[in-house]
Amino acid sequence: MEDLARVRRARGVPPRVPRGAVLPSAGRGLRPGDGCRSGDRAVSEWTFLRSSRWAGYLALVIVFAIACSALGAWQLNRRAEALAEVARIDANYDAEAVPVAEALPDPAGFDADQRWQVVALSGEFLAAEEVVVRNRPFEGSSGFEVITPFRLDDGAVFMVNRGWIAQDSDGRPSEYAAPPTGSVDVEARLKAGEGRIAGRTSTGNELATIDLDELAERVGGETYTGAYGLLVQRGEDAAEPPLAAARPVRDEGPHLSYALQWFVFALLGFAGLAWAANQERKGLAEASAASGTTTDAARAPGEPASGTPVRAPRRPKRERKDADADLEDEVLDRR
C-alpha cells in the first residue's frame, strides 16, 4: 500500500477521501484572511454612520450639547454672583460704621464690594427736597420709597432712603413720619444708584427710579452720585412708616443644581445618539438575516444552503476497483 501511495503522489492523483468525510460547502472553504472576517463584518455593521443623515444627527447633537453647556456655565456664573453677595452681607451688614467721607472718598465712586457697608452720617435732613419713588415692592405689596437728601457737616449732600410706605386708595403715598429736624447723627447702608429706565419718567416729586444724577440736579451743589444709603432704623422708629427694608437673605439659590442638570442634558444627547445608532444597527442586522433566510428557502430542491457542510460524493465502487487494479498492475510491472 505504501508503494501504491507513492505512485499516487508521483502521478498527481489526489488522496482518496475517506467515506463519510465532511467537506465545507462552496464559499466556506479556508481562504486567506478568513480569521479577520468576523472583525470586518462587525465594522461593516456600522458603515451607515457615514451617511449624510447620521452626520446631520451628530451635528444637531453637538449644537444641543453646546447650548446646554453654555446654559450650565451661565448658571455657574449666577451662583458665583450669589456667593459673592452672601460674602458681602456677611462682611458688611453688621460691621461697625465708618464715616461716609472715608468710605466714599470720591462722591461719584462706588465699588460693588461696598454694598451693605454701614456708613456714619452727621448733618441734617433736607425735608423740603424730599421725594418718593413709585412702584416699589415690600412684602408682596406695591408702594413708595421715601428719599430724603441729607446735608453733611462738610456741605456735601448724601441721599438717604428712609424706607417704604404704602399707597392709599387713590394710588398716592399714604401718610408717614417726617424726618427729624436739626443736626442729627444717623447710619445708613450703602447701595448703588439705579439710573434711568427708558420709557419711565418722573412726575413732580414722584420718581420712576432712584436716579442719583437726577436727584443731584434737583438739590444742586456737591452730591454723592455713586451710592445712596438705606437708613438704619432702631427701636420705635423701625415700627412706624417709612418702614426699613428687610434684611437681605443669605441664599446662593439653586444655580448649582441647575448647572449640573444642563451638563447632564448635554451628555444625554450623545447617549441618545449612541442608543439610536445601535437600534438602527440591530434593525439592519435583522433585515439582513431575514433576507438570507429567504434566499436559502428559494434554492432548488436538494441544493444545500450556503454555509451548510456537505459530505463527499461516493464514487462508484466498480470504478474505484478498476483504478486500484491499474495502479497495482503498474507496480508489479516495475518489479
Q: pLDDT tens digits for 206-222?
A: 999 999 999 999 998 89
Q: Quick one: pLDDT at residue 117?
A: 96
Q: Quick one: pLDDT at residue 26?
A: 47
Where do the domains of the chain lie? 48-93+252-283, 95-239
Q: Quick one: pLDDT at residue 30?
A: 47
Q: Quick one: pLDDT at residue 27?
A: 46
pLDDT, tens only, 86-128 = 999 999 999 999 999 999 999 999 999 999 999 999 999 999 9
Point out the residues of the chain with pLDDT beneath 70: 1-43, 236-237, 292-335
State residue 98 phi and psi, 5-degree precision.
Answer: -120, 150
Note whether 193 and 259 are within 8 A (CB). no
Q: Quick one: pLDDT at residue 309?
A: 53
CB atoms within 10 A of CB 50: 8
Q: How far apart are CA 96 and CA 249, in angstroms?
A: 20
Q: Quick one: pLDDT at residue 328?
A: 59
